[in-house]
Each structure stands twice: as structure tokens, then as C-alpha cells.
Structure 1
């Protein structure tokens, strides 16, 4: 039985317990009960977010928080937590979301360590669209203070030139933040590009929320990879974030597991490996 949750206390202890266990956790990881409560409370008041729970014989066995964007036909879970029969509970939760949002693309993130989740999505032919290493840099400090002459910032005034380069990578990666969606939220992002011979050869874009930042993407043209551009852009971004916002508590950076050079550049800049996760997609 699927139930829409209106009272947090009914499910929060269950969600907290499972979110702290590598075998049951979903993505993104939750570090404190306070943060989890904030996520639940936000979902209760937003028009495009919901909390549902699955019960089997009156026993709570699954909790899901999800939000959606109608214009994009996009829906994403922020918590997808199951104990017991994973297959049966996952099917009930996903079926319910599908009835509410038919034809939408559903995205669910889980860590590598949740074997039951990964097995379920693989055998049910969900598309694995991302397999990433989650790295974090804590208590951002300035690493350098000289701006690189080939690095430029992208704003509304020069965005049209950048959009073409951005979509060359973002669309093939099926990113939500294609050039159109990125422009809608451009005030929340810092975008830097590396130019050579008058053309954009690489870019990095980062979003800041409260006292945290997240590097959403680092794109480098194939012929310019592994020549130090990755290092330049990462360090330039960190410097500019620090100069504008001061010592951020945390900067997150998800790196494709098949990008060892990008990972090495992040580690050299002070990032640490935090976790590994996969994101799966299906059409409801």
C-alpha cells in the first residue's frame, strides 16, 4: 500500500536509520537528522515535491521523496529508501509516481554499496546515465590569487557563444542543466571557460547554495585534455569562489569513474573521495 505522507514523524526515524546504512542508503547522502528533517519539511510545503511511503501488511518498508518539473517532464528522487523485499517495494513506489506523472523521465540515485538497488535497476533495464565518484573539498581556502589570462567568466552578455560549447557535452550526457536550463538559473551559477586561439576549449560551471558549492561539470575538448587545463579551471574556480563567498563549508564535485585525469586534478586541488554513486533513468 502506498500512502502520501503529511506528518514527518511517521517516517523520519525509518528514513534516518536506512540513510545511514551503506546497504540501504540512496543518494544524496544525509549527514544529520536536522538536514533530513529540513528535506522532509521542504517537501511538505512545495507544490512540486512529495513524500510517499510503502507499507506491506501495515509494516513500513519504503520511503521516497521526489520532486518534478512539469515543463521538462522530469522527476527525481532525493530519497529512495527500502528495507525488505527491494523489488516489490521499488515497483510499488515507482508505479505510484508513474500514475501521478505519466510520460515523465524518472531519475533515481543510489550508492555503489546498495547492491539490492543496483541489481534491481539493472535487471529491470533502467538506463545507467551516470556512474560517478563523489569528491568533496571542506572549508575552502584560497589556493592561488593570480587570474589565468586564458580564463574568462560567462555572463548573460556572452552566454550565446558559450551555449553552443556547453550543449556539445551536456546534451550527450543527458544533463538537466543543458544550455537552456542553465541560462534560466545563471544567477545561481559561476561559469568559467578556457580559451585558445579565440575559441572556447574547456569550461567549468559551479552552483552555490547557502554555504556550499557544487561543481556540476568540467568539459574539455578531446584534443586539449590532459594538458593541465583541468588543473587551471578547477583552481581558478576555487579561487573565484573564495574571493566572492569566503571559506565555503563544502564544495562537492562528481567525477565520472572513467575520468582518472579529472579525478587526479581534483585530488591535487584538495578534494577527497567521499563516495561512489550511480544514477538510473526510466520513462514512466
Structure 2
């Protein structure tokens, strides 16, 4: 059976809250074996044996990002952006504060990553450019959601500033690793927003972003995995522990900053925190695996 990706996000039996990366990899496996949708074919490289990431693999990701733009536009076209938001004030306030912080964070994601990749060949640069464009689109979606709610964006937030400075002080590979941790931790938020957002507009924003982010995780796993293949097991264990420490901090910050919005969507803060760490564990495990 071919699973419709939008239905998968909305159906907890098909797309469990804590299994975003697992669901993505299952779709890629189906594609690689010929059982899945052609839409996922470009992403099947995640399950290949570790390689040095030849340009052909990046070409596959370029094809995916090109096709994904049309899929995302189709989701957005089905949203009635002109309707007036009819939400209780406490719900509206919770979502506004959450969207303001995500809009700020997503707006800067990918751009510095693209600048640090200037020394790479054309195919990797183009794939990273298209990844950055999707992140910018997410920022635009959060901004559009804020407009729908009658609110403005913000220009700065302390937790975003700290994380951004940390990422930008490091090299491309380490920045990708932190980027992977941040997206893995945020994934349960996007999924629950898609599944249980307070209205159809909020759910559509969550759906578009959740579908994009599962592929962003797979792309980052593809980029990072070759660098860990030949590392001794103890070294990979240390890397995992470092990732875990970052994830604990990031999950705690997101849980605190977005706790009201999580509750609006029916997800207790403690449940989000556990789901975020499980999401990171799956992503890090796939990156460090030699299988």
C-alpha cells in the first residue's frame, strides 16, 4: 500500500508522533524496493551503503527538492488564508508566541550553512541552496500564520541568539550536526501541529513543514554519515553522547518556550520532551550506524 504523505502526518497509527525519522526511512525503503511512491524515489539514497557522497547522490536530492516545491505549493493552495481567525484568546496568544520564535529561527536556518559550503562542488551547493530555500519558506509560512492571527514578527529572542552563535562558530560538518539535532527535536512539535492544530490553517502549516522536515533529516543523515563510517566505535559513542547533551538542552528550551502551544495541541510538555529525545536518538543512530 502506498501511504499518502499528508494522510500519514495526520494519522497517528501510520505516522506515530515519536517516529518521524522512522517513517521517513520506511518510505525511502519502499521506494528503493519499488513498493513506494515515486515522490520518495529521490530520497532512497539514505538507505544506501555508506559512500563518499558522490555528486549523483546530491543530484537525487536536487530532484527531490525541485519536486517537493510543487507538493508544498499544492498544500498551501488549499488553505483559506483570507478567512478570519476565530480562536479563543488564550489559544491565539499561545500560538502567536510559538510562531514568532519559530519564524525567527527558521528565517536564519540554512543561509549560513550555504555560505560555509561555498568550497564544495556544484551539486552539493545546489542541494544546500534548495534546502535553505525550504527553510526560508517555513519562515514565510510562520509569518503568514502570524498575519492570519493578527500579530507581528519579532526581531530577536535570547534562545535563538545563543543557538545561532553556537552553530556559526563551528565548521560545516559540526553545523550540520547541530542543525540535525535542532530539526529532530522540533519534529514532534510540527507533527502534533499538523495533527491537532487549533484550526485548519494551523494544521496546514504544520503539515507542510512536517513533510519537509522529515526529508531534511534524511538529507542531513546522508551528508553526515560518510564522515562517521570509519570512526572507531568508542569515538562514535562519544559523538552520540555529545549529540545527546545538545538534544537535552534543545528539547528543554523548546518545551519551555512553546509549552503553551504544545498544550493547545493536546501534547503535554513532558510527552513532547520524551518524543523529541527519541526523535534525536533515531536520527543520530541512523547517522552513526555502519549498517
TM-score where L is the length of structure 1? 0.31
Structure with higher RCO (Cα < 8 A, 6+ apart): 2
* More helix per residue: 2
> Greater strand percent: which structure?
1
